[in-house]
Amino acid sequence: MASQYNYSHSGQQEYGSGGPYSNGDSAFIQPGQAWPQRQKKRTSKWIKIGIPALVLIIAAAVVVAVVVTRKKSTSSSSSSASDSSSNQIAAGRFATATNSEFMMPIYPSSTNTAAFGSPTFASNAALAWPSDPFAPTAPNVLTLRPDRPLLIAPAYKWQALPNLIANDPYMNGWNATIFMNASSYYDLPPVVYHMDGDSGILDNAREVKMRIKAFSYVYRMTNDTKWVDRAWAELQNAAGNGSTPFGPDVDRWNSAHFLDVAEFSAAFGIAYDWLYDIWTPDQKSKIVSTLIEYGLGPGVQAYTNTSIYTGWWRTNTTGNWNCVCNSGLTMGSLAILNDDTTGTAKQLLGLTVDNAKSNCAMAVSDDGTWAETANYWYFGTTGHAEMASSLLTATGSHYGLLDTNTNFQKTGDFHMYITGPTSLFNYGDHGPNKFSTTANSMIFYAEQYSQPDYALFQRDQRDAAEPWSMFWYDASIAGAFWNGKALDHFFDNGLDQWASMRSSWTDNDALYVAMKAGMNQGHQTHNDLDVGDFVLDALGTRWAGDLGSADYLSPNYFSNDTQTSDRWKYYRKMTEGQNTIVVDQANQNVAAAPTVKHDSSGTTQGASTVLNVPSDSTAFWTTDMTSAYFNAPSMKRGVRLLNSRKQVLIQDEINSGGTVQWRMHTNATVTTSGTTASLALDGQTMEVSILNAPAGAQFSTSDAVRFNTDVVPPVPDQPNPGVTVLMISLPAGQYNLQVLFNPQWQDGTKFVTPPSVPLDNWSLTSHS
Ligand SMILES: *[C@@H]1O[C@H](CO)[C@@H](O)[C@H](O)[C@H]1NC(C)=O
Ligand SMILES: *[C@@H]1O[C@H](CO)[C@@H](O)[C@H](O)[C@H]1NC(C)=O
Ligand SMILES: *[C@@H]1O[C@H](CO)[C@@H](O)[C@H](O)[C@H]1NC(C)=O
Ligand SMILES: *[C@@H]1O[C@H](CO)[C@@H](O)[C@H](O)[C@H]1NC(C)=O
Ligand SMILES: *[C@@H]1O[C@H](CO)[C@@H](O)[C@H](O)[C@H]1NC(C)=O
Ligand SMILES: *[C@@H]1O[C@H](CO)[C@@H](O)[C@H](O)[C@H]1NC(C)=O
Ligand SMILES: *[C@@H]1O[C@H](CO)[C@@H](O)[C@H](O)[C@H]1NC(C)=O
Ligand SMILES: *[C@@H]1O[C@H](CO)[C@@H](O)[C@H](O)[C@H]1NC(C)=O
Ligand SMILES: *[C@@H]1O[C@H](CO)[C@@H](O)[C@H](O)[C@H]1NC(C)=O
């Protein structure tokens, strides 16, 4: 079943259009007191090439709905640069940097630490949710609460919203954005059916779901029936009853690519449930019949009909497919359960919950890593959180979906640590367009797992503004996610094995380096052959980056993860397309099973957004990645922070039977001179130098294209415009190679030249 992993996608440049949430505008602006803004107007070379139209300005989108007056900080021992001239602290949202790929929040660099206490719930009881008047005492998946909505947003929460929106700056801003988004969708024609090859109609389904959520939300907040009419037009169109054709009438929602069915089922479920009181009996029966015919019926078939393969994701699929499919079917089923005379919804609820527990919930490794990729985490956790939340509100229990995997709660840390100052450590495939897929599962998990830092982190993110947040967010929360958060974290499950190290959680210019080992198989065929791959951020830009997905529609892109798979013939998936060591110009072994070692000074950030990193603060991570190579008796790689986290050392200990190449992909303009390379990007500079290498080792560069000796892929690679490969080409043999990265900080940093210490001897003090 060659298409089983084909997760939709046509616009392969989506991460090349500034990231999933970057429509280039600067969000809403409300009057109020803004934090001091840093003007960052640098333009990456890549952005200039990829999206010349993007307006690179800082969003001055600071909502300051609440201005809390506090006494001047009296703490003189604080290491922060506290703004003692101000006795007014604006409790508001932070602006986002539109020139970072994920539009990262810009935290103030001058601050009173009193505003940033430890993460805590119930700090402001007046903003807590009221208790649920219908909280079921005997949860049963087939016994529903008596009032509607059933899904995610129960009536008592809607009643509390006006007060919360008036008093909480986040909810205030999110509400405004949802209204604005709903208005822009209102003026568009209903989503036009577009079959995108093997990727199906997933984009269509997600877009319909996104719109339905916004229309339904705004109707309930205004009672203006124009939103109901608009939602109805969208539903009718997706049912094939609009003015444009919508798929074959036997299978409009494309069960061959079941994610599409699931997302449409969720959309119809939400519309039915949230607008239940306003639909006419005729509309209700039409929604139910369409949902059963094209959604839940095919769902039962996927589960029970052994002669079809549409339900392949039910078995051994610890990944986003299982979460999204079960979630959509569950939401649709809960929405119509009491009105469904066919028994379809009831039958499905008996299937989806247990299945998601043994598959979806297991997609998180025991270290918290999402087994697919950092980007697929969004799809998987959105499905998981929507399903668990819907079950909780509709029936009173999540039936174990949240705790059958006792390590699931760590996945919020996975997301935080894999988010660097400019964007994700985005190894492997990036996935299709996200539409209503967000990181807002963080806000749900915060409450479910009593991890307030998850919500405090996510609430400042660009994608927080959508309807789920309005019901998942607990506005009684306070504090700063960074307060007490360790700068480093190591993820040790053998499947993943990766390290995250940084110099600050709140400085967009911070140094961040993340490197991975892990296995090259077992990631739902979304990974690359990339043991040893790394990304490096500093000075507000990404110096070493990943290329991301290749074209999902390319032949055999998802065929399998065996050594000879065509997938590994595409440059962006090959070892040479990664930031690691290549031996014999060949791919790594798919059966790699590296080992890792690491240590950290354990440095945590305090309340202040300004962290003065102690001189003994460091971290290192090493991997024996010999098993990833066919012609190398030994191959070890290590990465460590030097000099109060101002410099990075990458060290390779090589014993290779074949030629060796050290490779790193960068958007920078590179100038090489023997053992040094100067990288220029976004008005900043990174100096890179080779230390302790075999005689004659020097930097060179090339375009990010395949070796001309490579096997030809089924279709040509996509170009990688603006990307340069920084390389060191070396002969077979046994030697060490050290590469030192010195970001050119503007603060008078004096660089150190590290001693040469074997990786096995690395310790926290080995380079002091
Ligand atoms: C929603 O509105 C915000 C604020 O205008 C905008 O930045 C964002 O791109 C919109 N999202 C979508 C999906 O239209
Ligand atoms: C939500 O936002 C809309 C649009 O800005 C605004 O008209 C409405 O008053 C807000 N809702 C509440 C309860 O404040
Ligand atoms: C909408 O109608 C409901 C039910 O009549 C009412 O409780 C609510 O206050 C109304 N909301 C608005 C914004 O008019
Ligand atoms: C669409 O039309 C078909 C055929 O008349 C009907 O069975 C179905 O209920 C309609 N669905 C919607 C949502 O209009
Ligand atoms: C199973 O699917 C096949 C192919 O769609 C169909 O012909 C058959 O009727 C289905 N079987 C059942 C029991 O629904
Ligand atoms: C599921 O995975 C287990 C463990 O790897 C294996 O034993 C089993 O055969 C797999 N089942 C199917 C249907 O692939
Ligand atoms: C180049 O920049 C884009 C956009 O920020 C980013 O997605 C990509 O990872 C970068 N590529 C490299 C090789 O750094
Ligand atoms: C893996 O995919 C390739 C095509 O990319 C195919 O030739 C090969 O037979 C497949 N192997 C298995 C085990 O499915
Ligand atoms: C590395 O550690 C080993 C064993 O502890 C020791 O014998 C050796 O001298 C060390 N080498 C260096 C260069 O520090």
Two structure tokens written together for 597:
């070692």
Determine what percent of the chain is predicted with pLDDT higher than 70: 87
For residue 115, the model assigns a pLDDT of: 75
Place of tokens 């070396």: 730
Residues 408 and 267 in one domain: yes
Residue nearest atom 3 of ligand 4, based on CA coordinates:
241
Residue nearest atom 7 of ligand 1, based on CA coordinates:
27
CB of 98 shorter than 6 A to ligand 1: no
What is the number of other CB atoms lying within 10 angstroms of the CB of residue 720?
20
Residues 362 and 500 in one domain: no
- 12 falls within a domain: no
- 408 falls within a domain: yes
- The arithmetic mean of pLDDT across residues 277-286, rounded, is 98
Residues 369 and 518 in one domain: no
R_g of the chain, CA atoms, integer Å: 26
- 55 falls within a domain: no
Residues 514 and 446 in one domain: no
Closest ligand to residue 570's CA = 8
Closest ligand to residue 312's CA = 6
Residues 582 and 713 in one domain: yes
pLDDT digits over 153-190, tens only? Answer: 999 999 999 999 999 999 999 999 999 999 999 999 99
Please report the atom of ligand 4 found closest to the CA of residue 241: 1
Residues 326 and 436 in one domain: yes
pLDDT digits over 669-697, tens only? Answer: 999 999 999 999 999 999 999 999 999 99
How many whole angstroms from 27 Cα to the centroid of ligand 1? Answer: 7
pLDDT digits over 736-750, tens only? Answer: 999 999 999 999 999
Residues 461 and 495 in one domain: no
Residues 213 and 262 in one domain: yes
Q: Which of 443, 472, 501 is where one domain is finished?
A: 472
pLDDT digits over 383-421, tens only? Answer: 999 999 999 999 999 999 999 999 999 999 999 999 999
Closest ligand to residue 256's CA = 5
CB of 755 shorter than 6 A to ligand 9: no
Residue nearest atom 3 of ligand 8, based on CA coordinates:
565
CATH of the domain at 515: 2.70.98.70
Closest ligand to residue 278's CA = 3
Residues 513 and 411 in one domain: no
Spatial contact of 228 and 278, defined as CB atoms under 8 Å apart: yes
For residue 102, the model assigns a pLDDT of: 67
Residues 262 and 358 in one domain: yes
pLDDT digits over 72-90, tens only? Answer: 232 332 333 333 222 222 3
- Binned at pLDDT 50, 70 and 90, residue 110 comes out as low
684-691 and 676-681 beta bridge pairing: antiparallel
Spatial contact of 569 and 712, defined as CB atoms under 8 Å apart: yes
pLDDT digits over 235-247, tens only? Answer: 999 999 999 999 9
DSSP-assigned letter for residue 201: T
For residue 108, the model assigns a pLDDT of: 84
Domain enclosing residue 503, as ranges: 489-602+615-755
- Mutate which of 261, 296, 307 for ligand 5? The one with the most ligand atoms within 8 Å of its CB, which is 307
How many whole angstroms from 763 Cα to the centroid of ligand 9? Answer: 11
- 766 falls within a domain: no
CB of 761 shorter than 6 A to ligand 9: yes
- Binned at pLDDT 50, 70 and 90, residue 300 comes out as very high
- 404 falls within a domain: yes
Closest ligand to residue 246's CA = 4
**Torsion-angle region of 637 (φ positive above 0: left; ψ -120 to 50: alpha; else: beta):** beta
To which H or E segment does residue 268 belong? Answer: helix 258-274
- 11 falls within a domain: no
- 133 falls within a domain: no
To the nearest whole number, what is the mean pLDDT of the chain? Answer: 88
- The arithmetic mean of pLDDT across residues 589-597, rounded, is 98
Spatial contact of 336 and 291, defined as CB atoms under 8 Å apart: yes
Residues 468 and 494 in one domain: no
- Binned at pLDDT 50, 70 and 90, residue 95 comes out as confident
CB of 25 shorter than 6 A to ligand 1: yes
CB of 176 shorter than 6 A to ligand 2: yes
Spatial contact of 613 and 598, defined as CB atoms under 8 Å apart: no
Q: Is the pLDDT of residue 49 over 70?
A: no
- Binned at pLDDT 50, 70 and 90, residue 62 comes out as very low
pLDDT digits over 469-522, tens only? Answer: 999 999 999 999 999 999 999 999 999 999 999 999 999 999 999 999 999 999
How many structural domains compose the chain?
A: 2
- 254 falls within a domain: yes
Q: Which of 418, 446, 472 is where one domain is finished?
A: 472
How many whole angstroms from 182 Cα to the centroid of ligand 1? Answer: 9
Residues 440 and 494 in one domain: no
Two structure tokens written together for 184:
């822009």
How many whole angstroms from 233 Cα to the centroid of ligand 4? Answer: 12
Rounded to 5, what percent of the chain is helix, strand, coil?
Answer: 30, 15, 55
Residue nearest atom 6 of ligand 4, based on CA coordinates:
286
- The arithmetic mean of pLDDT across residues 427-435, rounded, is 94
CA distance 297 to 299: 5
How many whole angstroms from 496 Cα to the centroid of ligand 6? Answer: 20
